[in-house]
Each structure stands twice: as structure tokens, then as C-alpha cells.
Structure 1
């Protein structure tokens, strides 16, 4: 690790939070916040504290039971590794143009985008609904298999006892009939369901299967 007297202004992205010490030789377990751990935790990779004032260079990395275990240069005993517990580390953001060419995105790029029905839906949605606004992306959630887009619906709906839906503002709703108001939905962030992302025009398109998004 090293101290930077005058850290450069850079865009940093959180990749891990250090947990407990592992063994006696300076290794630590980490909770990961990246979908590219093999790249981010490769030996020689440099991680930063949030303010960019300290750097930690990875000397070795390995996995054990789905956990990543890291050993940083200069952290060579248990006391030193225990002192890092709870520290969050970051990497420099990749070049946005290169990421766009590779169809790679950061969660912060997606939050706030308008979600629309894809132009040529192929997973069961009627083609006549192409271009309809579904809502807005309000969060990106890390799932065990893939990330999930949390979409706040433009028009919240009420699930009735018979399984049908009506707009939440409908006069047909009876507040005492145990109905359920649905304001958000989760959509797996995979190419098949999210075919197009347009950061310049601030929208993405969805091609969900029938039933994934209520009343669509």
C-alpha cells in the first residue's frame, strides 16, 4: 500500500469491502461489488480508498467457497490485515467509449434511464405496445445469477383477487378488499430482456416475457 500526497481527480467505482483477516500472513476476505472480480483482483491491480489518497496493490488473490481472498503488498501479518476490516476499495472507471463498444455498463449509468417496450418485442408482449413507456430505472441490484434492474412503474397497478390488474388510481379499487399495489418490478439485466441501451437519449428498452411486468 502507499500514500499519495496529492491524489488526482478521478472517477472511482467501488469493487469490494474488506472483511475479516484470513490466516496469519496478511490475507483478507472481501465482499465483492463487481461482476469482474478476476480482472479487478488480478495480481498487480491497484485499488483506491474512496478519497483516492491511499492505494493498495494486490500481491495475490484466490477464491475459497465462493469467497475472494486478497493479499495486498505491505500487509504481511494478521495485525495489519485486521486493521483493514471494513475498508471499502475502489478502481478507476474504464473509458466510457470503450465500454459502450463492448456493451458494458456501470450501474450509475443505468439509474434514471426511462424504460420502454422494445421496438420488436419477441418474448410475448404485443407488438402494438412497442415504444410504450414502462417506467424508470431506480436501482441496479446484484443478484446471485445476474444483476436486476429495479423499475419504478410509470403507472402503478393493483393486483386484484382474481389475478387481474387495474391502475392504482382506479375508482374500482376497494381499500378493504386485500388488494396489492405494485409500484416497482425487477427485470433481469440480460441481453434477451434488455436489448438496447441509449445513454445519449437517456432510455433503455425491455423485451420481458408475458407476466413479468404487470398489466403489460
Structure 2
């Protein structure tokens, strides 16, 4: 088993009610796994550890309550903070075609011929699909993270393949053909 790493699972939103419950914006596809009562999450840069008391979905929102946050004032004090879970560095999502952001950041992006394009610097979660931010010679290019455009991810090799689509990563892609 490898060393644990911290993975951002949510950002705290506004308080809900008077007893310390708060809305959260999820950064995980596994809330049942991350927010089970008794789970311990790390708060933002402070490193303060909070224990999940309960969580639920209500009117399109996710509501979370911590044992250490007993009222609205305490919830307001941590509004906007990120919540992280400590997970084993080798842990993978349950579905084989899914990846954690931390697994994708730093991968070498290559074209279909294996030529280097750049490095993944971030994963941006959008309503329609996730985007990979790839640094190509100092310029950030956004590539939709869908199978048609990113057909292969090889974590062991530290690479992913980006389809050869003109203008997607390289302005001169059409001319190179």
C-alpha cells in the first residue's frame, strides 16, 4: 500500500438552516463513498479534520453536516473552503474508464503517432464534459475528455493519446497532414 494523498472531494457552499448543515459543490463522483457518516475530511489549507455526521440530497443540492460544525455561524466560517479526503495513492475509481484528477495531471499528451504534444496541467469539470488543460509550448489548450478525442490513457507509461483533430491542440495540425 502506498502513501495516502489528499483528493479534493467538494467545496463548501452556503449554510443551510441553523444547525450547521451546509451546501457543497461536489468534486467527486462517489459521494456515497466519501461522505459516509464517520468519514474524516480535511478542510482547505488549515488542515483541520472534520468528521462527517450526515449528508443528503435536497432540491438539487447536496447538504453536508459535520460533527464539529454545530451551528450556522460555524458553517459560515468555513464557507468557500475545499474539502479533501485522504486516499491511498494507488486507489482507482470503481469504473475502469474513470480517473481521478490527480492521476491525469502531469501525464504527457501524445498524438496518434506517439509524438509529444504537451503535458496535462489540470482537469476542468464542466456540465457537459470534463476538459483537459494541456500545456503546449507555453499555451494552454483545452481538450474535451471524451473517448473520441482521448482514446487512450496509459497511467503506467505516464501518457495519454489525443486524436489528430485539426486545431484541437496544434494550430498547424491541418497543414501538417
TM-score of the two chains, using structure 1 as the length reference? 0.63
Aligned with 2:136 (options 153, 166, 169): 153
Distance in 2 of aligned mates of 1:51 and 1:81: 16
Q: For structure 2, which runs of at least 5 residues remain unmatched after alignment?
A: none
Any idea what SS the aligned residue of 2:103 has?
helix
The answer on whether the counterparts of 1:141 and 1:147 sit within 8 Å (CA) in structure 2 is yes
Q: Indicate the residue corresponding to 2:119 in structure 1.
A: 136
Q: Indicate the residue corresponding to 1:188 in structure 2.
A: 144
Q: Indicate the residue corresponding to 2:55 in structure 1.
A: 61
Distance in 1 of aligned mates of 2:44 and 2:75: 19
Q: Are 1:215 and 2:169 matched, yes or no?
A: no
Distance in 2 of aligned mates of 1:206 and 1:51: 34
Distance in 1 of aligned mates of 2:106 and 2:43: 27
TM-score of the two chains, using structure 2 as the length reference? 0.75
- Residues 105, 59 of structure 1: CA spacing in aligned structure 2 closer, same or farther, 3 A cutoff? same
| C-alpha displacement of 1:76 | 3.4
Q: Are 1:12 and 2:6 matched, yes or no?
A: yes
The answer on whether the counterparts of 1:12 and 1:50 sit within 8 Å (CA) in structure 2 is no
| C-alpha displacement of 1:27 | 0.5
Q: Indicate the residue corresponding to 2:22 in structure 1.
A: 28
Aligned with 1:203 (options 138, 159, 163): 159
Distance in 2 of aligned mates of 1:29 and 1:198: 36
Root-mean-square deviation (CA, aligned residues, Å) is 3.1
| C-alpha displacement of 1:23 | 0.7
Structure with higher Rg: it is: 1
